[in-house]
Structure 1
């Protein structure tokens, strides 16, 4: 039988820099939530609103192209 890898655990052999950067961002966000939960909630709300505007703009562009 062929050797199977565990789902979600794959070694890509790539750089560890993205993992370190993601880890630092996650630690920073957790620290922000602990230090100031209200500001963290406003930050998430603003990010989601911005993502909605980006999606809406992209859809408007794609409708104009087609």
Structure 2
């Protein structure tokens, strides 16, 4: 069972997330030759004060 993990900042719409998981599932099925029902996609959103890049919190940028 392929499991795809995506970590991102909040702000995407529900429709964007639906489109994303549909496309990730499609590409996974096509590439790994597995049934769509075997593909899990997990989206984890982190607050901007819980993510840093280059030593600076994203919330401080």
Query: Which TM-score band applies after superposition, normalised by the shorter structure?
Result: 0.3 to 0.5
The TM-score with structure 1 as length reference comes to: 0.35
The TM-score with structure 2 as length reference comes to: 0.38
Structure number with the bigger relative contact order (C-alpha 8 A, sep ≥ 6) is 2
Q: Larger C-alpha radius of gyration, 1 or 2?
A: 1
Higher share in helix: 1
